A and B are shown apart, each in its own frame.
Chain A
Amino acid sequence: MKNAWLECLFVLGLGVSLAVVLNHHSPKGLDLVRDYFPSSIPPGTETAVLPVGSSGETGAAPTFEDEVAESVKRLQQKGFQAATTDEVLALMQDPLLEAGMVVLVDARNEALFQERHIPGAYLFDHYQMEQYVDLVLPMCQVAEQVIVYCNGGHCEDSEFAATDLMQLGVPQEKLFIYAAGMRGWNEGGHPVALGDRFDDFEELRALMETLPQPEDVQP
């Protein structure tokens, strides 16, 4: 009997202690006292679930456009302004972007950012905020407009990142959320940057001139 208690103590006690220590020392570890979902409305579970074999375009599953429309409504309820693909596209050719008066913020994680991001965007992963805040916050404070995006649709990370920025002193009037996000950007076939932040605006402008103008782009 004594052995059984010792075994329980060993397995559970050491297991929990190790978990605490390993989470604390892991670079990807979570902060136990931080609310990672500030003032959020839990997402509808049914929208995240698809029947076997469904790609989301058929049946009762909502389309991406429905998801974006829902997100825009939710953003407006929270007092955020939504930006459309055409508006973001127009900013790509705006000298204000190069001058730093308009700041694009990518609220996804580093792996997704490296894979592809909107040219000129700064990485600001809401869940690892402390790694990026020193670079991004001063940019946002001097900018006239800050556009935050994540994967698009039901993705809420852009809202959380915008909330972080707001709590750090960036006025909400400056903050816009691009609700279609990276998925909407990709579907439009717009230019993307790979790897670290792309800041060659001359090359970007040259590239944009070869692409359809915002008014020619299908909604």
Chain B
Amino acid sequence: MKSMIVALTRVLIGGMFIYLGWTKTQDPVAFLKTIREFGVLTEYWQMNVVAAWLPWFEVWCGLLLVLGVGVRTAAVTVGGLLLAFTGMILWRALQVHGAGGIAFCDIQFDCGCGSGEVVVCHKLVQNCLLTFCSFALAFVKHHRRALWPLIRIGKPEPVE
């Protein structure tokens, strides 16, 4: 039962990363414009690198999670990315909240996540849950339904 839940979480987070990453690869210019609006990166080449590479990297990490290859590193990487995205969304939302006097949970914008305009509160809760699940995946000792046991850490549990 536990291994089934772990596998489902892996597929869910991996699937989301594949979908959202792929959406961004299909319109990197829109993603580039969103990155610029955040104002965190100031040099053009930094924005270009993130907009050009990150979506493909997200798809890659998503694929690894779904297939169960290198799960621990993929899960930690995805968790780290989610943590960074969540911090940036929170930072921008606080800026908007401070500038416009809009109630925090009424703020919505395109966070560049690949899902269009989102309500900030919902997105933050969703990201926190996904981050927790990603890091939790990294601490699961054995991924019984992983495709490539040779790559993952630890010896596979014997199949019952």
Contacts and interface: CB of A to CB of B under 8 A. Distances in A.
A59 B153 CA distance: 55
Contacts of A18: 56-57, 60
Nearest to A49: B109
Given A12-B77, A42-B39, A48 B109 contact: yes
A121 B54 CA distance: 35
B101 A60 contact: yes
Which of B27, B45, B52, B77 is packed against the most chain A CB atoms within 10 Å?
A: B52
Interface residues of A, number: 40
A49 B96 contact: yes
B72 A60 contact: no
B5 interface: no
A10 B71 CA distance: 11
**Binding site secondary structure of chain B:** helix
A109 interface: yes
B74 interface: yes
Contacts, number: 121
A70 interface: no
Interface stretch (A24-32, A167-175, A190-198): A24-32
A195 B27 CA distance: 20
A11 B64 contact: yes
A57 interface: no
Interface string B19-60: 000000111110010001111000011011101111011001
A212 interface: no
Contacts of B114: none
Nearest to A61: B100
A7 B29 contact: no
B52 A30 contact: yes
Contacts of A26: 25, 28
Contacts of A51: 102-103, 106-108
A49 B110 CA distance: 8
B122 to A, nearest CB: 10
A3 B150 CA distance: 9
B119 interface: yes
Interface string B61-81: 100100000101110010000
Interface in A13-69: 14-16, 18-20, 22-23, 26, 28-37, 42-43, 45-46, 48-53, 60
A30 B28 contact: yes
A109 B29 contact: yes
Interface in A120-145: 127
28 contacts: A4-B153, A7-B73, A8-B73, A11-B74, A11-B77, A12-B73, A14-B60, A18-B57, A19-B53, A19-B57, A22-B25, A23-B52, A28-B29, A30-B28, A30-B29, A32-B48, A36-B29, A36-B47, A45-B39, A45-B92, A45-B95, A45-B109, A46-B95, A46-B96, A49-B102, A51-B106, A52-B108, A60-B100
Given A19-B56, A32-B45, 5 more contacts: A12-B73, A15-B60, A26-B28, A30-B52, A48-B110
Interface of A: 3-4, 6-8, 10-12, 14-16, 18-20, 22-23, 26, 28-37, 42-43, 45-46, 48-53, 60, 109, 127
Closest 8 CB pairs of A and B: A19-B56, A19-B53, A11-B73, A30-B52, A23-B52, A51-B106, A35-B44, A15-B60
